[in-house]
Every structure is written in structure tokens, then in C-alpha cells.
Amino acid sequence: MLKLVDLKKTFHPGTPNEVRALQGVSLTIEEGSFVVVIGTNGSGKSTLLNAVAGTFLVDQGKIELAGQDVTGWPEHRRAKFIGRVFQNPYMGSAPHLSIAENLALSARRGEFRGLNWALKRRQLEELQQQVREMGLGMENRLTNLIGSLSGGQRQSLTLLMASLKRPDLLLLDEHTAALDPKSADQVIQLTENLVRKQKLTTLMVTHSMQQAATLGDRLIMMVRGQIRYDFQGAAKKRLTPEAILSKFEEVRRMDLLDESAAELLRQRYV
């Protein structure tokens, strides 16, 4: 379970580049829930994910994960609970290590790493089995370097790596945005399968209305560092890509109205 209480984060405070990326975000994600986050550019959706992952520490608020207050924990310590897939398909794996070595590294996510052999034969067979189950045809190429794979293949592997040791929370940061449509479909398919099979608690940021409508059991729309809409249960099931788009349009118009109204007031009274 993930519990966020009134998260606030400002980048470059006190400078002309000040960005108030999170302006009081509270959110509770139940065990086994698959939450999709959408939002316009700069709405803070990726910032939210990074705040949970610990890429930076928040200015204010509380992050509770798997029953522990992790607010002050550095990124590598939170990794014990969190599996992550990045937007950049090259960010989630080490190119000059083999597929097997990458998998072996992820199998010990958040655990002590001592002087045991990293690749034991028995474990290797296990890994091979898991790669086979993914159906990507890579099970016989485990000694190949990751760098020799395509972006889609690497992203699929990163997904497997993130869930090899069952995470308490799976974070997906627009993980299909940089892929070609076919690979994106494949990775989404894989995501669905993994999440369903392992009943993973998942927080996924996406830019695709299609994915937002069809995936997950809860949809959150962020605007200007705050959660504007939160669709759950039946309301989420009813959502179509068009409905989501019209919500975006609504948000845009309201914001326009806000600004023009502010301008009107300024002209009249200042």
C-alpha cells in the first residue's frame, strides 16, 4: 500500500525558474490496485512518480510505503519496495552487461550484495524459464550484451527485471512513450500480464488516452501539481479515450477562464 499525504515540491525555489511541481498531493493506493496517472505537460505527473521513487526528497508531506514512513529515505533504500521502469528504454538496463547479468542484478533488488557468485547455474535456469514465459524469444541469448537489443526488447526486459523480485509497488513512467507502436503494444501487453498475474500494486504515468482508458482500475488526472480528477471503480470502467479528452478540454477552458478572469480583475482594480 502507498500513502501520500500533502506532498509539496518546488524546484529552483526563489529563482526566476521556480517550478512548483507538486502543490499538495494526497493519494492512497490500496494493495493490488493499478492506478493510471495522466496530465498535461508540466502537470507534475512524472514528478509525483519520482517523489515516490526517491529521486529527490519532497519539501513537505509524508510518503508511506509498505507500512513504513519512507519520506526521508534515499532512492536506493526505497528500491527494496519499488520496481521501476523508466521512460527511456536505455535507462533501465546496463548495456555492457549480459542479459543474464542484468537479470541477476535485479533478482537481488534491495538486498545485500556480498561475495557470492552473481550467476549460479541453478539460478540461471530459473531466469531462463522466466524469460521464456515472457515469450520474447530471448531465452537462448542470455549471454548477449543488453546493448545489442532494441529499445522495445530492452523495455520488456526492464519490466521483467522490475518484477523479478515481487515489488510492493511498481512504478511505470511513460514506459512506452519512446517506443514504436508495435513494441509499445507488446510492452503494454506484458505489463498487463505481469500486473495481473502477480497482483502488483502499480502506479503508471502515461500520455496515451487509449492506455489511460483501458488499463488499470483507477485513473488520476493531474493539473498544475494537483490531483484534479480521480475516477475509481465503475466510474473508471465507463471512461473512454474521448471522455478523457473532453476532460482535458474542460480543464483547459477552466484554466483559460481563470487567467482571463484574473486579467480582467487586474485591469479593473490594479
Partner 1 sequence: MSLLIGALTMGLMLSLLAMGVLISFRILAFRDLTVDGSITLGGAVAGMLIAQGHSPILSTFAAMLCGALAGCVTGILATRLKINGLLSGILVMTALYSVNLRVMGKSNIPLMNETTLFSMVQGWAKSEDRWTFLIWQAPLQDVFVLLQLCVMIPVVALIVWAYFQTEHGLSMRATGDNPDMIRALGVNVDWMTVAGLGLSNGLVALSGALLVQYLGFADVQMGIGMVVLGFASVIIGESLVRSRSLGLLLIGAIMGSLLFRLLVAIALRWGLNPNDLKLVTALFVLAALVMPMVLARISRPGKTQTLEVAPDA
In this complex, which beta carbon is closest to partner 1, that of residue 36 or of residue 79?
79
Among 3, 20, 62, 80, the residue binding partner 1 under the rule CB under 8 A is 80
**Which of these, 63, 60, 42, lies nearest to 52 by C-alpha position?**
63
**Which of these, 123, 132, 140, lies nearest to 156 by C-alpha position?**
132
Residue type, 263: E
Residues 100-159 binding partner 1 (CB under 8 A) are 101-102, 104-106, 108-111, 113-119, 145
- The distance of closest approach from Cβ of residue 88 to partner 1 in the complex, given in angstroms and rounded to an integer, is 9
In this complex, which beta carbon is closest to partner 1, that of residue 44 or of residue 92?
92
- In sequence order, what DSSP letters do the residues of 186-232 get, joined into one string? HHHHHHHHHHHHHT--EEEE-S-HHHHHHSSSEEEEEETTEEEEEEE
84 is a site residue for partner 1 (CB under 8 A): yes
- The distance of closest approach from Cβ of residue 185 to partner 1 in the complex, given in angstroms and rounded to an integer, is 24
**Which of these, 88, 70, 87, 89, lies nearest to 79 by C-alpha position?**
70
**Which of these, 64, 22, 29, 54, lies nearest to 227 by C-alpha position?**
22
In this complex, which beta carbon is closest to partner 1, that of residue 41 or of residue 116?
116
Residues 226-265 binding partner 1 (CB under 8 A) are none
Among 95, 210, 237, 245, the residue binding partner 1 under the rule CB under 8 A is 95
- The distance of closest approach from Cβ of residue 79 to partner 1 in the complex, given in angstroms and rounded to an integer, is 3
Cell numbers for 125, please give them: 535456469
- The distance of closest approach from Cβ of residue 4 to partner 1 in the complex, given in angstroms and rounded to an integer, is 19
Residue 42, CA distances (Å) to 59, 103, 201, 226 in order: 18, 33, 25, 11
CA atoms 244, 247, 248, 249: torsion sign: positive
- CA-CA distance, 201 to 120, in Å (whole number)? 30
Number of residues that bind partner 1 (CB under 8 A): 35
**Which of these, 216, 244, 218, lies nearest to 230 by C-alpha position?**
218
In this complex, which beta carbon is closest to partner 1, that of residue 28 or of residue 144?
144
For residue 252, count other CB atoms closer than 10 A to its CB. 12
Distant-in-sequence, close-in-space partners of 248: CB < 8 Å, separation ≥ 6: 40, 221
Residues 26-65 binding partner 1 (CB under 8 A) are 53
In this complex, which beta carbon is closest to partner 1, that of residue 36 or of residue 49?
49
- The distance of closest approach from Cβ of residue 109 to partner 1 in the complex, given in angstroms and rounded to an integer, is 5
- CA-CA distance, 89 to 61, in Å (whole number)? 31
207 is a site residue for partner 1 (CB under 8 A): no
- The distance of closest approach from Cβ of residue 162 to partner 1 in the complex, given in angstroms and rounded to an integer, is 8
Among 97, 134, 136, 177, the residue binding partner 1 under the rule CB under 8 A is 97
Binding site for partner 1 (CB under 8 A): 53, 74-77, 79-80, 82, 84, 86, 91-97, 101-102, 104-106, 108-111, 113-119, 145, 161
